[in-house]
Amino acid sequence: MADADEQVTENAPFPGFDVSRPSIARTYDYLLGGKDNFAIDRAFGDKFINDLPGSRQIAPDNRGALVRAIREIITSTPVRQFVDLGSGLPTADNVHQVAQRYAPEAKVLYVDNDPIVLAHGRALLAENENTTVLQADLRDPKAIYDSEDARLIDFDQPVAVVFSATLHHVNDDEDPAGLVRFWYDRIASGSYVFISHFRSENDPRSQELEQVLQGSLGRGRWRTDEQILALFGDGFTVLDPGLVPAVNWRNPDAPEELTDWQRLIAAVLAVKN
């Protein structure tokens, strides 16, 4: 796809793609070294790579924490169902690939509002009856819960709900905590919620990044640790090691010293009481 930009506007292989402005999913894919992106996304991604050297590390650090969280859940809990809200679908080690490596029967509902995820998902999941991908907006959780695709998940049994690098794309006036609460009200006790999130630490770099994202995408919020933890509301127990930089989350290979950029994305896992 990276070499086919011209064809996209004329002869879009997947109609519905907006290639007039960058997309979060495609830019993230570019930052991770993937091929599901267009010139407009690469130009936007290059802003981070060239103008804010080191900031690109936020993408692989986030992805690493997500992979470890899914591995931990599948290997050390009875949970065999995952709802991945704002999943993207980068090239490797997606939630279903990690979970089904250990438990082939694990079920995964992917949700994303970017059509590239649906397009990629159809190819990736063609022969996987335990996994489905739904194009929907995570800010409309009822539409997701009521969808045909959501029937894959038995909400009477524990589930892991994944908000990996997505709630920071929900602005304050869109009530990100209310979205977590929606799922809290529908998942069984013993269910997990994973959140990774842009973390401000009151570092001026986070304000710089927020300006770049809000100025281009109209979204992208760096929240304090207190604000991120408050997204859970009551009724959850936050598990060790709490909310920490994503690269440090249950990572025996974490570097001793983090760059300033590495502190600006954090991860946390909690269980419903």
Ligand X SMILES: C[S@@+](CC[C@H](N)C(=O)[O-])C[C@H]1O[C@@H](n2cnc3c(N)ncnc32)[C@H](O)[C@@H]1O
Binding site for ligand X (CB under 6 A): 24-25, 28, 62-63, 66, 86-88, 112-114, 117, 137-139, 164-166, 169
Residue with tokens 């992917």: 110
Cβ distance to ligand X smaller for residue 54 or 235? 54
Shortest Cβ distance from residue 70 to ligand X (Å)? 11
Shortest Cβ distance from residue 85 to ligand X (Å)? 7
Shortest Cβ distance from residue 156 to ligand X (Å)? 25
What is the C-alpha to C-alpha distance for residues 55 and 41, in angstroms, rounded to an integer?
16
Cβ distance to ligand X smaller for residue 69 or 271? 69
Cβ distance to ligand X smaller for residue 62 or 191? 62
Shortest Cβ distance from residue 137 to ligand X (Å)? 4
For residue 91, list its beta bridge partners: none
Q: Are 99 and 70 in contact, with CB atoms under 8 Å apart? A: yes
Cβ distance to ligand X smaller for residue 37 or 257? 37
What is the C-alpha to C-alpha distance for residues 84 and 162, in angstroms, rounded to an integer?
5
Provide the token pair at 38: 């267009």
Q: Are 222 and 207 in contact, with CB atoms under 8 Å apart? A: yes
Cβ distance to ligand X smaller for residue 25 or 229? 25
Shortest Cβ distance from residue 240 to ligand X (Å)? 21
What is the C-alpha to C-alpha distance for residues 40 and 172, in angstroms, rounded to an integer?
27
Provide the token pair at 247: 């690269």
Shortest Cβ distance from residue 29 to ligand X (Å)? 8
Provide the token pair at 232: 């859970």
Q: Are 117 and 110 in contact, with CB atoms under 8 Å apart? A: yes
H-helix or E-strand spanning residue 84: strand 81-85
Provide the token pair at 239: 């598990």
Cβ distance to ligand X smaller for residue 10 or 148? 148
Provide the token pair at 42: 């690469």
Return the number of other C-beta atoms located less than 10 Å from residue 148's C-beta: 8
